[in-house]
Amino acid sequence: MGLTKSSTGSNLLANDLEFLKNDSDYVIALAGNPNVGKSTIFNNLTGMHQHTGNWPGKTVSNATGNCIYKNTNFLLVDIPGTYSILSNSEEEEIARDYICFGHPDCTIIVVDATCLERNLNLVFQTMDITNNIIVCVNLLDEAKKKKIHIDLKRLSDELGVPVVGTTARKKKTLNSLMDTVQKVCTHDIQPAPKKVIYNKYIEDGLSKIEKVLNAEFELSSDLCRWIALKLIDDEETIINSIEKNLSMSLSNNKNIQNITNEVHNDLEKNNIIKKHLKDFIVSDIMHKCETICGKVCIFEDENYSRRDRKIDKILTSKKFGIPIMLLFLAVIFWLTIVGSNYPSQALFSLFGWIQEKLLHLANFLHSPEWLSSMLISGVYQTLTWIIAVMLPPMAIFFPLFTILEDLGYLPRIAFNMDGFFKKCCCTR
């Protein structure tokens, strides 16, 4: 495996990927929750660090790279990390639109072996969109440390799709993943996802809408079911994406609108209100995740997460969460501001001493005053002042924040601040 070519185009949906696919036998989407090792797998497979561009009209970055395995060229597209594709954020919209409308030959969903139940949520949501799925259970080394054992064979049987265990930092474990990818792309392996069966009344509604969709449009059974689910859910942004990318009119089609309204009325008669429908859908998915994990996961230490839960109770509590967060941030800013004074002063002294020597050298060489002033008092002095002022705070602040991220405190800060951000309309 190795890098042959990279690309950072801005629009990676179906039409715009054609020029890349000409040089690649297959296009592979790489999806997963944040912090599951997805980018590590991507870097190891392509033999490069990420070269990023932006998705069209978005601030979220993308990364692509080529990987050659057994004389077959694969273009890997690193989709933004997301916990869900139910369209609550920009990242989720991008992941959903690419998986559904970008037509990848295969989608690898990377999951964390230490918290499989939470990660399977994305797997089942993706199953509603496409069949060509491979589940990559990553971080097996971390799971082993926590004495968590996962029956990968049984997990594959329960999901109906290939499951491969990996440790992203070890390239050898990725050979099995790429071997499975090749077999799925060449149809030697044909995944048959065992999708979530929703509430009886929701399933009845899906069947009704699917019949009308089949009569109005030529759609695959998987796509038809997914569109029916989105129509019931009445998610405007998803419906707009479907109409735009598939060139089909849903909102103006009277037959579809009539059957959708009829289904909503039937659901309300059975106490499934439209605004709470997504809760029923997510609940069914999470129940399926819990059931499967109960079958495939063995915990030698049932209380392996007890310490983390105790820490969470303190760091995210209503009483102590915000004060502790403010204290941590205050300490970091204090260390950054006060701590940077000493190296800044040292750099000013060093650069000032060098400036004096440069001025003496300019005088010795009889350099014109306008030239020495421009180069030494202008360019050199400005550049060194910027370095002396900016470098020490950055050298202190970023490592400290990296430590907080590695310790898992930044997600807890995000949890504490979520309510405030919503009040400021910073989240959707």
Closest residue by Cα to residue 238 from 87, 406, 380: 87
What integer pLDDT is reported at residue 37 of this predicted model? Answer: 86
CB atoms within 10 A of CB 231: 26
Structure tokens at 163: 């499951």
Q: What is the dihedral of CA 99, 191, 84, 202, to 10 degrees?
A: 110
What integer pLDDT is reported at residue 302 of this predicted model? Answer: 65
CATH for 6-185? 3.40.50.300
Instruction: State the pairing for strand pair 163-165/26-32.
Output: unpaired
Buried residues in 167-183 as b, exposed as e (16+ CB within 10 A): bbeeeebbeebbebbbe
Closest residue by Cα to residue 83 from 124, 121, 134: 121
**Which amino acid, residue 273?**
I
What integer pLDDT is reported at residue 18 of this predicted model? Answer: 47
Alpha-carbon span 181 to 106, nearest angstrom: 7
Alpha-carbon span 370 to 359, nearest angstrom: 12
DSSP 8-state assignment for residue 184 = H
Domain ranges of the chain: 6-185, 200-271, 321-423
pLDDT 10s per residue in the chain (428 long)?
543 333 333 344 545 444 445 556 899 999 998 888 888 898 888 876 445 544 544 445 568 888 888 888 998 988 888 888 876 677 777 788 888 888 899 999 999 998 899 899 999 999 988 899 999 999 898 888 888 899 999 999 999 999 999 987 777 789 999 999 999 999 999 999 999 999 899 999 999 999 999 888 877 777 888 889 888 888 777 888 888 888 888 888 899 999 999 999 999 998 888 888 888 898 999 999 999 999 999 887 666 667 777 888 888 888 888 899 999 889 999 999 999 999 999 999 999 999 999 999 988 888 888 898 899 889 999 999 999 999 999 999 988 888 887 777 887 888 888 777 777 776 55
